[in-house]
Amino acid sequence: MPPFRPPISGGRHEACRAGREAGMLKVSAIHAGYGPVQVLSGLSLEVSEGEVLCLMGRNGAGKTTLLRAIMGLIPVTDGEVMLDGEAISRLPAHEVPKRGVGLVPQGRRLFGDLTVAENLEVGLMTRGRGARVREHVLTLFPRLRERLGQVSRTLSGGEQQMLAIARALCLEPKVLLLDEPTEGLQPSMIALIRDTVRDLKATGVATILIEQRVDVALSVADRIGFVSAGKVAEVAEATALTVAAPQFQTYVGV
């Protein structure tokens, strides 16, 4: 039985839609790693406009390394990453976000000494975005509006995650990379993150989501890719999978 997908609320939906551009990411047989340690060995995948591709796999399979390679934070030694037909894998890391790729890293990683408003401001300035995008982001996460003057390191875990996503959305990304956004969050926050991913999907943002929770993956993803030993070993339509599907046991160990 496919997971229940609640309807998207109008305000959040519209907020996501505003100012968005279409985008698609294609990763072709990339090799990348840390110095002599090769983590990705010819990994390929593709995510289209408005699609959520969830990546699952055991620790060390190469999921986070893939996101770092897409962002240019580690060198791609072979293969290519294409965004809307443009090769981005040889660009300096600071150029990739300007092309429209946003990353929400694992563990939130905010600028802890800056307030919520200042964190958003830093996100907005890169692509010269202003009040309109800020307003849209705050419509998505009304709780952040109440915390604008608060130093971000004093936020709760869920609020920090909201801010991390909001900051990435300030770039108005065509492609959003989310690295375990529900890690360590309470159920209500997980539901909020899930709704946000759905809303972004509805507005055409292509999303790569790294997730360890099977229920979350099944409820938001269009496709699920199973990463093993630096490659995408198998890709399945989310609607074709259930919690008891053997792939979860084989590749994730749950």
Give me the least distance between CB of 145 and another protein, in Å please: 16
Asked if residue 109 binds another protein (CB under 8 A), the reply is yes
Q: Which is nearer to another protein, 62 or 72 (CB)?
A: 72
What CA–CA distances, in Å, run from 245 to 64, 103, 137?
24, 29, 36
Cα–Cα dist 249/140, whole Å: 35
Q: How far is the CB of 156 from another protein (least distance, A)?
A: 17
Instruction: Say if CB 62 and CB 227 are below 8 A apart.
Output: yes
Q: Which of 222, 208, 221 is nearest to 24 (CA)?
A: 208
Among 121, 183, 195, 222, binds another protein (CB under 8 A): 121
Spatial contact of 93 and 44, defined as CB atoms under 8 Å apart? no
Measured from the CB atom, the residue of 85 and 149 that comes closer to another protein is 149
**Residue 118 lies near another protein (rule: CB under 8 A):** yes
Does the footprint of another protein cover residue 245 (CB under 8 A)?
Answer: no
3-state helix, strand, coil in the chain (%, to 5): 40, 25, 35
d(CA 157, CA 111): 14
Whole-Å CA distances, 14 to 155, 156, 242, 244: 27, 27, 31, 36
Please report, to the nearest 10 degrees, the dihedral formed by the alpha carbons of residues 56, 46, 91, 106 taken in order.
-20
125 contributes a contact to another protein by CB under 8 A? yes
Interface characters, 42-71, with another protein (x: CB under 8 A): -----------------------------x
- Give the H/E segment covering residue 179: strand 175-179
Is 90 among the residues that bind another protein (CB under 8 A)?
no
Residue 231, strand partner residues: 228
- Which CB, 12 or 167, lies closer to another protein? 167
Site track 132-161 with another protein (rule: CB under 8 A), x = hit: -----------------xxx----------
- x/- letters, 159..178, toward another protein (CB under 8 A): --------x---x-------
CB of 123 to another protein, least distance (A): 6
Binding residues for another protein, per CB under 8 A?
71, 73, 92-98, 103, 105, 109-115, 118, 121-123, 125-127, 149-151, 167, 171
